[in-house]
């Protein structure tokens, strides 16, 4: 089966560091208002959290502030744009939030007979539980196979969030682990990976996979290869 989804990519003029994404996210949420839960996924009524794939994701793309809005997030983003002022205060600087690019597309999610090549940047595949398992693996081959299994699960979580029923085997092959480094996420120290991989699933540009998606972690970029 396949599923068509709406995908809105917005970049804004100005410069934003990856470390400033949480502040960017917080400032935009405050601008819109906490009653618009699609922007933050917090269950205000029950002081809890909606465990769903984020429909609005906060990024830095080419060092510019950016938003990726999916499905109902495309409808909800008007709650920001209808404000009389779009400027946001990030630390000691002000972002004017002038739109640089705005691209609305419809993408078809499905499992193909061909492969697509991607890079996933600052991916957080390991939580406290699977870190214990991962750290006990003794070879790179075993570690890569473990990461491939996690990445496949992340793709399935994205599919569930988009209400896409996957009826074929999802293939994931990691070609290269480019970089790993430690990051702080919600008061936890996690190992971030930047990885080149191939899959038979088409993934829309700049969506996130794994933990911390709404904070810019696990961002997908299409990767050019000699074959494509």
Q: Give DSSP secondary structure letters for 154-223.
A: HHHHHHHHTT----SPPPEEEEEEEEEEEEEETTEEEEEEEEEEEEEE---TT-B-STTGGGTTTEEEE-
The pLDDT tens digits along the chain (228 residues) read: 899 999 999 999 999 999 999 999 999 999 999 899 999 876 666 666 667 899 999 999 999 999 999 999 999 999 999 999 999 999 889 999 999 999 999 999 999 999 999 999 999 999 888 999 999 999 999 999 999 999 999 999 999 999 999 999 999 999 999 999 999 988 889 999 999 999 999 999 999 999 999 999 999 999 976 554
The predicted structure's pLDDT at residue 75: 97
**pTM for this entry:** 0.92
Q: What is the DSSP letter of 110?
A: -
- Residues of the chain by 3-state class (helix, strand, coil), percent to 5: 25, 40, 35
Token reading at 55 = 């429909």
Contact (Cβ atoms closer than 8 angstroms) between residue 211 and residue 120: no
Place of tokens 């074959």: 227
Count the residues in the chain.
Answer: 228
- Buried-exposed string 59-77: b where 16+ CB fall within 10 A, e elsewhere: bbbeebbbbbbbbebbebb
Answer whether 192's CB lies under 8 Å from 147's CB: no
């Amino acid at each position: 089966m396949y599923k068509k989804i709406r995908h809105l990519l917005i970049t804004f003029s100005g410069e934003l560091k990856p470390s400033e994404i949480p502040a960017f996210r917080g400032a935009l949420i405050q601008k819109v208002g906490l009653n618009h839960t699609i922007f933050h996924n917090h269950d205000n009524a029950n002081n809890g959290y909606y465990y769903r794939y984020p429909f609005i994701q906060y990024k830095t793309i080419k060092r510019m502030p950016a938003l990726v809005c999916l499905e109902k997030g495309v409808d909800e983003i008007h709650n920001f744009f209808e404000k009389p002022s779009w400027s946001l205060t990030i630390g000691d600087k002000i972002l004017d939030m002038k739109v640089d690019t705005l691209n609305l597309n419809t993408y078809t999610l499905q499992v193909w007979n061909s492969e697509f090549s991607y890079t996933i940047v600052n991916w957080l595949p390991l939580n406290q539980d699977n870190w214990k398992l991962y750290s006990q693996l003794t070879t790179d081959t075993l570690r890569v196979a473990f990461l491939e299994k996690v990445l496949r699960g992340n793709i399935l979580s994205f599919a569930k969030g988009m209400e896409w029923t996957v009826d074929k085997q999802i293939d994931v092959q990691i070609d290269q682990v480019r970089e790993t480094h430690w990051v702080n996420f919600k008061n936890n120290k996690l190992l971030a990976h930047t990885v080149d991989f191939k899959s038979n699933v088409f993934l829309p540009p700049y969506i996130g996979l794994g933990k911390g998606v709404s904070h810019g972690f696990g961002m997908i970029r299409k990767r050019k290869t000699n074959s494509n």
